Structure 1
Amino acid sequence: MSEETAPDQAQVKALRQVSTIWLVPVIALAIGIWMLVQYMVSKGPEVSLMLNTAEGIEAGKTEIRALNVRVGVVTDVRLNKDYSAIVATAQLEKDAERMLKDDTLFWVVKPRIGKEGISGLDTLLSGAYIQLQPGRSEEKKTSFTVLEVPPVAPPDTKGLRLMLYHNEAGKLGVGDPVLYEGFTVGRVEKVTFDAQQKRANYQLFIFEPYNSLIRKRTRFWLTSGVDLQMSAEGFNLKIGSIESLITGGVSFRVPRGNDPGKLITEDMTRFRLYDNLKEARERFFDEYLEYVMLFDESVRGLSAGAPVEYRGIQIGTVRQVPLEMPKALEGFSNKQIPVLVRIELGRVYPTLEPGQLARIKAQLEQEFQAGLRASLKTGNLLTGALLVDMEIHPDEVMPNIQRYGEYDIFPTKAGGFAEIQKQISAVLNKVNEMPVEDTLLTLNRSLRASQRTLQATEKMANELAVLLARKETQAIPGEIRESLQQIQSTLNGFGPDGAPYRNLEQAIHRFERVMAELQPVLRQMNEKPNSLIFSGEKAKDPIPVGRKQFEGQQ
């Protein structure tokens, strides 16, 4: 076969062109990478929130809001490792990252009925959400504790934060008002308890411009809605504001008449919290002298806190009634009751110089020598409350006992009422010592002798009348007869029908009635000497005795 007649052969070459079908997965991959980058770039921070309870919190539904604008959502809710709290994880938007500072606050918004009214009603339909309050600090933070109640004031609010301490917890609650002369100038922000010092701490926030009222010597005390005090000064009723009437609160001011001190501008300055205004006033007097007063009379009505006065001016306070007796003086045989008092020098001297305390004590010793004595005095007749009153008695002698345990003795004198009781008792003792019964017996014998004399006179007058009626007597000369008739008339005047006899008989009967009425009184005085002051059983009225019955007894 010739070359001209041979068949043609195909030539195979490699194809270098890529098919367009592969563009689809490439583009999809690029879009995915771009979306991932956009998600990573736009993704906000993730925060961890610690809660006491997960009530109303749902993963994927509960929103995080700032000024009612959604800035994130809760993505996970779980228990912590020791099951003591709830840990919620929230995903925030990118723009919310600048809000997360060290002082950022979170709290759950839900329906509440609190001290300031009803709040969170809009969450009845939409559900609870977590409110975010942006912080102002420079330090960033991603783990927070959710507050149980909304904060009193934002971190950037102008004002002053103070710390009060008290030995007992439960005195104040978050949101309670801080009052100045009845006007709300702040709120209680936080309540904590220091386990080491065993004290409750109450953090207050005083709004500007009222923070200028806080001075170094400011005193804080608890305010209740109704304050009723009953003391030697009488009844004292105070009613606070409507809010304090429902929830209570805390009040403050500088005690009147005292130097307020410098202005407090530093946050978290500590002050003591007193139970009431009276305690705040009393504790203001830090300089005092303590004495023991020994009273021989009853101290019923005298209580701790009663005033110690000098001519109506309070110079101290009763601290303990009664004071614990030393073992050497224990027992009912000791008639004196010890009472511990404080002479508070701040009430008399506005400022005390170093060494003045000892000088004042020496002056009091001289006053004791001059007759300064303390006595119990009724402060309120309605309540029976007593107070301690001081007065100068120059005739008084210093007591032999100068010390009572570790305290000096303040000389005392029986009070006015006790003195009256002693005087009445002395009078009654003298009356009891009088021979009243012997006197009555002698008087009765004298009355019986007088009656016998009158009866003899009556008999003589009757015999003389018989004698004059005889003929022999009538024969006597007329002059003698007239004389006898005059004598008879005179004797007849002393007879039963005569006025002297009747007057004497009436006087005797009256005297017997007086004696009969006096005998129960004397008997009651012997049995109960104080019956002239205090009420007793009334003696029965004496029953008059008839004349004939009286003569029959004779």
Structure 2
Amino acid sequence: MSDQTPPKAEVSPIRQLSLIWLVPVVALVIGFWMLIQFLASKGPEITLKLTTAEGIEVGKTEIKALNVKVGVITDVKLSDDYNSIMAVAQLDKDAERMLKTDTRFWVVKPRIGKQGISGLETLLSGAYIELQPGVQEEEQRAFNVLDTPPVAPLDAKGLRLILSHQEAGKLSVGDPVLYEGFTVGRVEKVSFDTQSKKANYQLFIFEPYDSLIRKRTRFWLSSGVELKMSAEGFNLKIGSVESLLTGGVSFNVPEGSEPGELVTRQMSRFRLYNNQNEVRERFYDQYLEYVMLFDESVRGLNEGAPVEYRGIRLGTVSKVPLRLPNQSKGFSNQQIPVLVRIELSRVLEYVDTRNLQELHDNLSLQFSKGLRASLKTANFLTGQLMVDVEFYTEEPLPSALTYKDYDVFPTTAGGFAEIQKQVASLLDKLNNLPLETTLSELNQTLAAAEKTLKSAEQAARSVDALMAQQETKAIPAELRNSLTQIQATLSSYGAEGAPYRNLENALVRFEQVMKELQPVLRQVNDKPNSLIFSDSKGKDPIPVAGE
């Protein structure tokens, strides 16, 4: 049997990469690519400071710009001092260009405010944070969320102004800005300057109403309802419905003032006045100051009372009293000094220093002609007084021309004071009358009258007794019989009586006799001696013709 060895195969290892490893490699590459894409598409992360976290939920509360989602809230926590809420928001890449120093955020939720009802769509979807893009160049990543929506966007067309006032709390964000009762803007921001110790109110005037703002425009608080009781009576003004509920600020150019140049510069500053009357009073800034010395009571004369000349207002009462009388000399014969301002701009359109000097010289001349001031009742209902200026030529010149470095405006007793003096004089005369003697004589007269009345009463009783006698009662019957006889006698002399007929017959016969005597009377009238000499004459011969 022969040995046969089997052949051996030679094995050599082959080095190669398994395809199974491609799977993790591909997965790693995809993951790395996705990471790069995620980092490339990831927007900035910002921090928002809120006063409250009401309605804010992590992962749900969105950040929108013009109702387009640009981010979401990723974290909410308290601040280090526990006074506010710090929220972290992740924004989209495209929102990075919106984050500027003037970018504004606010929470959109249901609100009932001065501008109406807003945010009703969030009742179902929940609150969200609105982003208003900024326009500045500098970027920012931390912002304060506004408590209320802004009045207008930063790029809105209009004019922004700043009003200053000594007191804070006069206006609030959203209050209307009114011109002749029409809303032309809103209060946009309220702040307080600690250095100047003044409150600043930022307004936004919408276009085209910004053209109403002039250099001499004045702003004042509008309370909606303004009731003023002054020497001129009661003055009630009612504004718009919105101003009744929220108040606001009004503006206009004072009457009689030039409007001035158009204001175009943003953030121009103006003063905020308390009311329109204060604006009018501040307009009369050119005036002369005088002191009026009154002998009567100044009760009812208040600061701001008018100084008028025949119904035309010339000035204003500034201070009542200017100073108290010198008490070291007592109060006897002490006059009450009142400081007044004579405001020339109330009657002249243009006033300068030269006009004021001319006015001063003119008034001094008028004082010598009898120009005097007196107190008069301006309102009988309120009892307030005013100063009336009129000419009293019989009044003497004042003894004092100055008082405490002020020129004196001569005064005279007012109408009411004159009435008081007349009443006092009448009372003095009544007191000086001999009332006791008069009363004594009056008592004597009354006693004598009483005796006379008693005598008259006794006489009346005597007459009653006389009338009660039978003889006195018979007198009327006899008197009636006598009157009847007289009437009968008078009747016999009537047209039917015999004496009347006899007289008528006699008159007829007398008339006949007069007719018969008429020829005799004519003859006697023609020839008075006819009764002595005969009137017979021969007839004149009648010539006869020859035979």
What range describes the TM-score normalised by the shorter chain of this pair? 0.7 to 0.9
| Number of the residue aligned with 1:193 | 192
Residue aligning to 1:547: none
Instruction: Letter of the 2:42 partner, please give it.
Output: K
1:69 alignment partner in structure 2: 68
Q: Within 1, Cα distance between the matches of 2:101 and 2:205?
A: 22
Which AA in structure 1 matches 2:116? G
CA distance in 2, matches of 1:49, 1:7: 86
Shift of 1:326: 5.9
Contact 1:50–1:86 under 8 Å retained in 2? yes
Is 2:158 the partner of 1:151? no
Query: What CA distance in whole angstroms lies between the structure 2 residues aligned with 1:451 and 1:235?
Result: 61
Seen in structure 2, the aligned counterparts of structure 1 residues 269 and 53 have a Cα distance that, compared at 3 Å, is: same
**Structure 2 counterpart SS, 1:379:** strand
Q: Distance in 2 between matches of 1:139 and 1:275?
A: 39
Alpha-carbon offset, residue 11 of structure 1: 4.3
What's the CA shift for 1:84?
3.2
Does residue 54 of structure 1 match 2:53?
yes
Percentage identity across aligned positions?
66
- Which amino acid letter does the alignment assign opposite residue 350 of structure 2? T
Q: Which amino acid aligns with 1:147?
A: L
Structure 2 residue aligned with 1:297: 296
Written as runs of structure 1 = structure 2, the 5 A alignment for 1:24-423 is 24-325=23-324, 332-333=331-332, 335-423=334-422
Instruction: Please tell me the root mean square deviation across aligned C-alpha atoms, in Å.
Output: 2.9
> In structure 1, how many angstroms separate the alpha carbons of the residues matched to 2:447 and 2:184?
94
- Give the secondary-structure state (helix, strand or coil) at the position aligned to 2:283: coil
More deviation in 27-36 or 331-340? 331-340
SS at match of 2:134: coil
Task: Give me the whole-angstrom Cα distance separating, in 2, the residues matched to 1:360 and 1:135.
Answer: 58
* Counterpart contact for 1:169–1:193, Cα < 8 Å: yes
Q: Distance in 1 between matches of 2:290 and 2:239?
A: 37
Deviation of 1:445 after TM superposition, in Å, equals: 7.3
Paired amino acid for 1:109: V
Which amino acid in the other structure matches residue 179 of structure 1? Answer: L
2:173 counterpart SS class: coil
TM-superposed deviation, 1:440: 5.5
Q: Aligned partners of 2:134 and 2:14: how far apart in 1? A: 66
Structure 1 counterpart of 2:287, one-letter code: Y
* Distance in 2 separating the partners of 1:447 and 1:182: 78
User: How has the CA–CA distance of structure 1 residues 110 and 441 changed in structure 2, closer, same or farther, with 3 Å as cutoff?
Assistant: same
Separation of aligned partners in 2, 1:123 and 1:445:
104
Q: What residue number does 1:530 align with?
A: none
**Aligned AA (1:415):** G
SS of the counterpart of 1:283?
helix
Tell me which moved more, 80-89 or 183-192.
80-89
The 1-side partners of 2:133 and 2:98 are apart by: 5
> Are residues 1:435 and 2:438 paired?
no
Matched residues in 1 for 2:411 and 2:375: separation? 9
Shift of 1:349: 2.7
TM-score, length of structure 2 as denominator length: 0.77
8 A contact 1:44–1:97 mirrored in 2: yes
Residue 400 (structure 1) shift = 2.9
Deviation at 1:301, TM superposition (A): 2.2
Q: Sort the Cα spacing of 1:90 and 1:13 in 2 relative to 1 into closer, same or farther, 3 A.
A: same
Q: Tell me the amino acid that sits aligned with residue 419 of structure 1.
A: E
Shift in alpha-carbon separation, 1:95–1:444, aligned structure 2, 3 A: closer
Aligned-partner SS, 2:117: strand
What does the per-residue CA deviation read over 1:307-358, in whole Å, with 9 as the maximum and x for residues that have no partner? 1111111111122223332655686446432322222222123222344333
Of stretches 425-434 and 377-386 in structure 1, the one that deviates more from structure 2 is 425-434
Distance (whole Å) between structure 2 residues aligned to residue 76 and residue 330 of structure 1:
81
Describe the shift of the 1:202–1:446 C-alpha distance in structure 2 as closer, same or farther (beyond 3 A). Answer: closer
Q: Which moved more, 1:429-438 or 1:84-93?
A: 429-438
- Indicate if the aligned counterparts of 1:166 and 1:199 stay in contact, CA closer than 8 A: yes
CA change 1:69–1:451 in 2 (3 A) is: closer
Contact 1:326 1:405 in 2 (8 A): no
Q: Is the 8 A contact 1:106 1:145 kept in 2?
A: yes
Residue 227 (structure 1) shift:
1.1
Give yes or no for contact 1:227–1:239 (8 Å, CA) kept in 2.
Answer: yes
**Deviation of the 1:136 alpha carbon:** 2.7
Q: What secondary structure, in the 3-state scheme, does the structure 2 residue paired with 1:191 have?
A: strand
Residues in 2 aligned to 1:331 and 1:272: alpha-carbon distance in whole angstroms: 46
1:196 and 1:333 mapped to 2: Cα distance?
Answer: 50
Q: Is the 8 A contact 2:325 2:336 kept in 1?
A: no
Q: Quick one: which amino acid aligns to residue 364 of structure 1?
A: L
AA aligned to 1:76 is D
CA drift at 1:252: 0.7
Counterpart CA distance in 1 for 2:353 and 2:332 is 43
Q: What is the letter of the counterpart of residue 407 of structure 2?
A: D
Contact kept in structure 1, 2:176 and 2:187, CA below 8 Å:
yes
CA distance in 1, matches of 2:396, 2:77: 83
Residue of structure 2 in register with 1:552 after alignment? none
Structure exhibiting the larger radius of gyration computed from Cα positions: 2
Distance 1:430 1:88, change over 3 A: same
The 10-residue stretch of structure 1 (200-209 or 12-21) with the greater mean CA deviation from structure 2: 12-21
* Conservation of the 8 A alpha-carbon contact between 1:65 and 1:72: yes
Contact 1:109 1:123 in 2 (8 A): yes
Deviations 1:469-493 (A, max 9, x none): xxxxxxxxxxxxxxxxxxxxxxxxx
Q: CA deviation at 1:417?
A: 1.5
Q: Distance between the aligned counterparts of 2:325 and 2:374, measured in 1?
A: 23
| Matched residue SS, 1:255 | coil
Which whole-Å CA distance do the structure 2 matches of 1:162 and 1:330 have between them?
56
How many Å apart are 1:183 and its aligned residue? 0.5
Distance 1:295 1:450 in 2: 55
Deviation sequence 1:126-164 (CA, Å, 0-9, x none): 221101112233333222211110011111111111111
C-alpha displacement of 1:30: 0.2
| 1:469-484 alignment runs, 5 A limit | none
Structure 1 residue matching 2:161: 3-state secondary structure: strand
SS at match of 1:421: helix
Q: Which residue of 2 aligns with 1:504?
A: none
Question: Which residue does the alignment assign to 1:541?
Answer: none
Letter in 2 for 1:290: E
Distance 1:303 1:195 in 2: 35
1:154 counterpart SS class: coil
Alpha-carbon distance in structure 2 between the residues aligned to 1:79 and 1:398: 81
Separation in 2 of the partners of 1:320 and 1:353? 24
Indicate if the aligned counterparts of 1:233 and 1:379 stay in contact, CA closer than 8 A: yes
**1:237-289 superposed Cα distances (whole Å, 9 cap, x missing partner):** 11111100111111110112211111111111111111111111111111122
Q: Distance in 2 between matches of 1:313 and 1:100?
A: 62
Contact 2:314 2:347 in 1 (8 A): yes
Amino acid at match of 1:73: V
- Give, as a single letter, the amino acid of the residue that structure 2 aligns with 1:224: S
CA contact (8 A) 2:325 2:331 kept: no
- How far the C-alpha of 1:95 sits from its partner, in A, is 1.8
With 393-402 and 170-179 compared, the bigger mean Cα shift is at 393-402
* 2-structure distance, mates of 1:33, 1:69: 30
Q: For structure 1, which segment, 155-164 or 438-447, has the greater mean C-alpha deviation from structure 2 after superposition? A: 438-447
